[in-house]
């Protein structure tokens, strides 16, 4: 049975842990406010840019730019975006489960799968399972910048243009609310979804009559590479915001658990103290009775 001193030490340890979880929640809240503003500012721009380019690409010659090239799928690149640190609940577990399921489905359909990992959790996950990754980037979560997105996007664009990969999929946690994150799978390249088929793309191109200024080639040369950078940047910001929200929620739950544990330990301490006092009183009473005898 635990002594009073042992229970007191446990209470102090839990209270110290509670201080840490509260502090981590406050830090996560501060980081979330900063990254959430950037994410919300970028989101409509990224969505509209992607939609416009898809619309233009369906009515354009696929040979007009290497990033528009549509070829039979043989190798699929899966970019998995996770965090560098833990203590954020099921944030990383959910994304890694979804990524593994996606990879298994592609392999089942007979495609070769190339994996790129963003974040230490994704890198370590595949490393532990002896799954080779084509490339990995760490130290990004918590300090996302456009240059980070540019480094990743340039590597992806180079692989696609060199025909090392035929399709690029990005899997990340999108920020939905303070208590919810949505695992999102987005096709980055090629722009026009291949399952729609060439016939439908041709029909749409015939229906739409675009006027390009200064020229179709100049527009695609400028916007297509930038779109890849923007979409990667959006995925990183969404993932970073979702990570901080998940960490806030996890730390709040941990703080509440500490409160409950302190209450239970305090009750246990009071019971043990009462039992100790009762035992001492019984000893005194017994001693007095013995003297009377």
| pLDDT per residue as tens, the chain (293 positions) | 578 888 888 889 988 998 999 999 899 888 889 899 999 999 999 999 988 888 877 766 767 788 888 888 899 999 999 999 888 888 999 999 999 999 999 999 999 999 999 999 999 999 999 999 999 999 888 788 999 999 999 999 999 999 899 999 999 999 988 888 899 999 998 886 544 444 444 445 444 566 777 777 788 888 899 999 999 999 999 999 999 999 998 999 999 898 899 889 888 888 878 877 887 777 777 776 777 75
214 cis-preceded (ω within 30 degrees of 0): yes
Q: Which of 7, 39, 76, 88 is catalytic?
A: 88
Position 20 in a domain? no
The CA distance from 215 to 197, in Å, is 26
What 3-state DSSP class applies to 51?
helix
Q: Which domain holds residue 149?
A: 39-248
Which H or E element spans position 166? none
258 flagged as catalytic? no
CA 6 centroid distance within chain: 40
**CATH code of the domain in which 244 resides:** 3.40.1380.10
pLDDT of residue 201: 45
**159: Cβ–Cβ under 8 A, 6 or more apart, which residues?**
77, 114, 134, 165, 168
Position 256 in a domain? no
**107: Cβ–Cβ under 8 A, 6 or more apart, which residues?**
113
DSSP single-letter state for residue 76? E
CA angle 108, 119, 30 (to 5 degrees): 130
Taking alpha carbons only, the member of 231, 228, 292, 234 closest to residue 66 is 228
pLDDT of residue 290: 72
Residue pair 67/228 in contact by the 8 Å Cβ criterion: yes
In this structure, the number of other CB atoms found within 10 A of the CB of residue 224 comes to 20
**272: Cβ–Cβ under 8 A, 6 or more apart, which residues?**
1, 2, 3, 4, 7
**264: Cβ–Cβ under 8 A, 6 or more apart, which residues?**
none
pLDDT of residue 199: 45
Taking alpha carbons only, the member of 121, 127, 183, 118 closest to residue 153 is 118
pLDDT one-digit tens code per residue, 251-272: 999 998 988 998 898 888 888 7
CA angle 241, 99, 154 (to 5 degrees): 70
Position 164 in a domain? yes
Position 130 in a domain? yes
Total domain count for the chain? 1
CA distance to 62, 66, 202, 206, per residue, from 197 (Å): 13, 19, 9, 15
Position 276 in a domain? no
pLDDT of residue 205: 45
Position 31 in a domain? no
pLDDT of residue 207: 45
Position 115 in a domain? yes
The CA distance from 30 to 291, in Å, is 69
Position 33 in a domain? no
Half-sphere exposure of 151 (CA within 13 A, CB side): 13
CA angle 87, 89, 93 (to 5 degrees): 105
């Amino acid at each position: 049975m635990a002594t009073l001193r042992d229970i007191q030490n446990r209470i102090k340890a839990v209270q110290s842990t509670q201080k840490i979880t509260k502090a981590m929640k406050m830090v996560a809240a501060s980081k979330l406010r900063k990254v959430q503003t950037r994410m919300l500012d970028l989101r409509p721009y990224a969505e509209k840019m992607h939609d416009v380019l898809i619309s233009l690409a369906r009515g354009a010659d696929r040979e007009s730019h290497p990033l528009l090239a549509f070829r039979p799928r043989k190798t699929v690149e899966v970019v998995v975006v996770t965090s560098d640190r833990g203590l954020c609940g099921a944030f990383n577990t959910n994304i890694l489960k979804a990524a593994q399921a996606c990879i298994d489905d592609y392999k089942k359909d007979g495609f070769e799968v190339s994996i790129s990992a963003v974040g230490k959790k994704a890198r370590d996950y595949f490393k532990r399972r002896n799954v080779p990754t084509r490339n990995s980037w760490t130290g990004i979560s918590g300090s996302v910048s456009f240059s980070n997105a540019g480094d990743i996007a340039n590597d992806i664009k180079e692989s696609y243009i060199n025909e090392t990969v035929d399709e690029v999929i990005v899997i990340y946690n999108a920020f939905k609310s303070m208590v919810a994150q949505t695992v999102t799978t987005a096709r980055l390249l090629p722009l026009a979804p291949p399952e729609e088929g060439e016939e439908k793309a041709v029909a749409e191109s015939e229906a739409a009559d675009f006027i390009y200024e200064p020229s179709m080639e100049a527009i695609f040369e400028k916007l297509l590479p930038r779109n890849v950078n923007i979409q990667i940047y959006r995925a990183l910001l969404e993932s970073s915001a979702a990570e901080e929200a998940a960490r806030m929620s996890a730390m709040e739950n941990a703080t509440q658990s500490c409160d409950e544990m302190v209450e239970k330990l305090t009750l246990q301490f009071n019971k043990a103290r009462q039992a100790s006092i009762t035992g001492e009183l019984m000893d005194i009473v017994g001693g007095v009775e013995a003297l009377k005898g």
